[in-house]
Every structure is written in structure tokens, then in C-alpha cells.
Copies of this chain bind each other. A is one copy, B any other.
Amino acid sequence: MSVTLKDVAQAARVSVSTASRALTGTGLTSERTQQRLVRIARELGYRPNPIARGLKTGQSRLVALLVHNLTNASFQVMAEVVQARLKALGYQMLLCIGGDDPQAESDTLTTLVDHRIDGLIVVPTGKNGAQLETLSKDVPIVCLVRRDDATDLETVLADDPQGAYLGTRHLIELGHKRIGLIVGRQDTTSGRERLSGYVRALREAGISRDDALIHAGHYVPETGATCARKLLDLARPPSAIFVANHEATLGVLRVTAERNIAIPDDLSLLCYEDMPWFEWHRPAISIVDNGARDLANLAVDRLLHRMDAKGNSKGNGSDGVREYRVGARLIQRDSCRRIDVPAPAKSSKSKSSSSKSSAAKSAKV
């Protein structure tokens, strides 16, 4: 059907081996025949069959990216980045959607290695550590966004503690003292880390933590709405809300709209992770950018490094680093506002104590 190496060899009156060597550019063939074969191959429209090649070499020029879904904006840009990078290097990306389901993840993983993928970037569910660990002996693997604690795999993570710290500090600098936090479940790393960043910023500013202001739940709009209601129903509601996830933000926005709460006049809103429409929303929503683009790029870098190392069989490509953290950064738009600072009181102490007492009071709510 399609033109094979044999055809090229015949046309050039050389053996298949020479043809192969000439076209793969091993340098084991004379300049002349090399060029001649390249020319003939082009004329005949020869395209090497990756399957046959794969059978012999054990490689497929396929690299898989396994993410939870495609609705998450971060995963979208990651997929696009990974695809672009890989394509430039002659790899095809195999994009798989695991739905954050351990069973699906496990199935997909076996199918992928069956297909002899050359590398894998995976956002692990965290439930298939053993399998991942085993597979990593055959194929280079880099974990992305989440760490699977059961493994020693190289992992590229967002710097959630820092991001949450950055966001919270920003709100504090704007004068906010009562900052609501809607955060992910505490059995996830990101949930815990974002909370910790928030807490650290508060502590640093001498603001005592008020658990009534902290709500944890799934990363879905419903959670955002529920938590927002709880926060706004407080006797002393927060002047700012930090939503540690973009899905939950949807719920918060709905509630504020329903209650006619103006952002940022009545309430400042800061969100973790970007969505394309955030900057088109009025007010444009300020965010802490988790650096999805950088994360993806770094993951690809590390994977390529490992793949390369494997090819040259110089170790497993580990550079001794197990974990990479990609910095988050604050993107200020229009959803956070400086809070009115009353005329400077005479005693700086009274001010701070007042702020503290108010915090203490609110803790009772």
C-alpha cells in the first residue's frame, strides 16, 4: 500500500540495510549514497513506518499526558503546552482523561505502557502509587500538580503555600482583617497547603486565625455557593473572600449577585487559578496564578531529560531533585479594593489591640 524501505532500496539498487542507514543518518554510509537515497526516498514519498520501527527499537514516539479532565482551565493550558512542545520534537501526544478515578487511571496506565509510550506526564489520583512505581522502571514518568505520596517519582508542583500566602498578604495589605477562605478538602495536598499559606500570612500580620472564616470542601461551584452563604451570614462577615479554586468561584459569584453584594465595594474577592473569562468579567477578577504554563513546561523539560538519560542509559535521569516547585504570582485586576482606613489613631497599640480584639470577638461567632 504505502511505499516501504524495500521499495526505496530497490529503486536505488542498494540493500535495505544501506537504505535504512542512509535515511536514519547514522553516518555509516558514504556521503554520495546518503544524499542519493534521501533524494529517492523523497521522490517516492517514503515515510518510515513507526510501528515497524517501534517493534524493533521498543520506542513509539508517543508521549502520554494523563489529566483528570478538560474542563479545568489549568489542564487545558497544560495540554496545549505539552502538545506544542512535544510536537516540535517529533512526538505525538496521547492525551488521556482519567476523571480523577483510580480505576480509570489504572486501566489507562496499563493500556499506555502496552502501547510502549516513550514517556508519561501524569496528574496522579494518589491511589495507584505502587503501579506507577513499577511502571516507572520501564518508562520515564513525571508527576504533575499532585504528588503521589506512595512513590518517589519526580514531581512538578505548584507552590501552593506561597501562592496562598501571596494572595492573603495582598488582601491584608489592602487593609483587610477579616478574610474568608474557601479552600479544598483537607485530605488533599493542595487543600492543606493553601490553608497553610493563608494561615502564615495571617500570623505574620499578627491577625489571629478565626476558624469561622475558614471553609473547606470539594472544588465545585456548589461548595463555593454554600460556603459563601455561610461566610456572609456571619454576624461579622468578612470584608474579603479568598476562594482557593476557580470552580468554587462560580458559586461565590452567584451568591454575591443574588444578594446584590457589590464587588469590590462591599466585598473583595480573590481567586486561585485563572479562567479565560475572569478578565472579561466585570469587575475583572484578581487572581493568584498557579503558573500552569510554567508547570507544564517544566514537566516536559524534566521528562525529556529523563527520556534522554534513558536513551543513553546514563542512569535514570534523576538529578537528585525529587520535587520541583513552580512559583505562583499575583495578578491584580479589579475585584479587590483597599479597605477604608480610619484616620490614624494616636496610639498604635490601641489600633492593633482593637484589631485583635475584633478578631477575637469574631472568633466567637
Contacts and interface: CB of A to CB of B under 8 A. Distances in A.
B55 A83 contact: no
Given A83-B96, A97-B80, A221 B280 contact: yes
A70 B78 CA distance: 10
Interface stretch (A19-27, A33-41, A111-119, A352-360): A111-119
Interface of A: 1-2, 47-52, 54-55, 60, 62, 69-71, 76, 79-80, 83-84, 87, 92-97, 107-108, 110-112, 114-116, 138, 221, 250-251, 253-254, 257-258, 275-277, 280-283
In the A-B complex, the 4 residue pairs with the smallest Cβ-Cβ separation, listed nearest first, are A257-B282, A250-B280, A95-B95, A70-B76
Contacts of A79: 70, 95, 97
Contact of A253 (B83, B84, B281): B281
Contact of A83 (B92, B93, B97): B97
Contact of A50 (B83, B97, B114, B257): B114
B60 A70 contact: no
25 contacts: A47-B110, A49-B55, A49-B116, A51-B51, A51-B60, A51-B116, A70-B70, A70-B76, A70-B79, A71-B76, A71-B276, A80-B97, A87-B108, A92-B94, A92-B115, A94-B94, A221-B280, A250-B276, A250-B277, A250-B280, A253-B280, A253-B281, A254-B282, A257-B282, A258-B282
Nearest to A247: B276
Contacts of A55: 49, 51-52, 55
B93 A93 contact: no
A3 to B, nearest CB: 12
Given A70-B76, A70-B79, A115 B51 contact: yes
Contact of A69 (B2, B80, B110, B257): B80
A60 B55 CA distance: 12
A114 to B, nearest CB: 5
Nearest to A73: B71
